[in-house]
A and B are shown apart, each in its own frame.
Chain A
């Protein structure tokens, strides 16, 4: 019987195609993911079972670990209006040039009496050294800020405004600061706002879980 020769084939495969696929996927994922808005302050929000996504365009009050409050005006169309309202209400005496410079700033983290000075000076204070907007029970400037916001949105669908008002707080921020922010909303007749949280699954076996699985 003649021997059957099995031809020895190389085990190496051409990897070029696979490499192409890998990098195609990689570039797809990088381009398809939405970029987070610039985060100036590092804050770890608490978790909640809420499944609603936080809106992109928002008026965001950030509460840091050490109890400082910052305000980020995410709606570019109204930002100039809001800052202008503050300028006139609080008599900050800002020149149009200073106001324009202020509009470009990503967020507010200064008490009213320091704003003019900081806009006039060339040097920018690093974000972690800003004093934040005062929200003490004696001097709650957030009330004025929210008043300015409400004023800028007069005539606009109020439900839309409510959806835009967000509070993002750090896990370790103390409760009284948060309470003062709530007070600031209440004083301006706003009773609905939203808290930014990290999404979390509903714990298995809980009432909400049962309700969800029954539907």
Chain B
């Protein structure tokens, strides 16, 4: 809505037949341009803050067979990561005759409360979370569970990543079949 200059009425009359040169104002309404400017600002502000990447520290243990950590049965919780973002866990050591009782499945939403629960129940010196990742678990799972340790404020040295045993692999496979995990 460019404004029209209407102030030229009156003044000098040039008689009939003489056309009046219409004077157009040079002022343009800038409202849409301001809108556009602010829209772009909002857009840039939002897109830039979203993609801020952070770095998470990773500390790997030395592969030293002479320094095997002895973990107390009562303080150990083994967390297994399977495919399809499934999490399995058991406390202590697997015992052949009580497998189905011990081996339970859960997911990433509930694992936090389980970790906290275990942490509260156990003497901090005995506490140990053993994390084992399946071949078909993803990178995200591995990072998420470590992040979960940070979120639950588990002190470093009280969780470790260990390779999976064949028994556990088999158990995961069976549970996956039973639960129909794709």
Contact = CB atoms under 8 A, between A and B. Distances in A.
A49 B154 CA distance: 14
A195 B56 contact: yes
Contacts of B165: none
Given A54-B53, A172-B139, A207-B116, A195 B60 contact: no
B151 A52 contact: no
Chain A interface main SS type = mixed
Interface in A161-213: 166-179, 182, 185-186, 191-199, 202-203, 206-209, 211
A118 B172 CA distance: 44
Interface in B42-67: 44-45, 48, 51-63
Residue in B29, B51, B119, B147 whose Cβ sees the most chain A Cβ within 10 Å:
B147
A194 to B, nearest CB: 4
A22 B41 contact: yes
B53 A19 contact: no
A44 B112 CA distance: 23
Nearest to B3: A12
A168 B51 CA distance: 14
Given A178-B139, A193-B58, 17 more contacts: A19-B30, A46-B147, A49-B147, A54-B55, A166-B55, A170-B139, A171-B138, A174-B136, A175-B142, A185-B60, A191-B59, A192-B59, A194-B55, A197-B54, A206-B152, A207-B119, A208-B151
Interface of B: 3, 29-31, 33-34, 37-38, 40-41, 44-45, 48, 51-63, 81, 112, 116, 119, 133-144, 146-147, 150-153
28 contacts: A19-B30, A23-B37, A25-B37, A26-B40, A29-B44, A33-B44, A47-B144, A48-B56, A48-B143, A48-B150, A52-B54, A168-B53, A170-B139, A173-B138, A175-B81, A176-B135, A177-B139, A178-B142, A186-B63, A193-B58, A194-B58, A195-B56, A195-B58, A197-B53, A197-B54, A206-B112, A207-B116, A208-B150
Closest 5 CB pairs of A and B: A22-B37, A15-B30, A207-B153, A171-B140, A169-B139
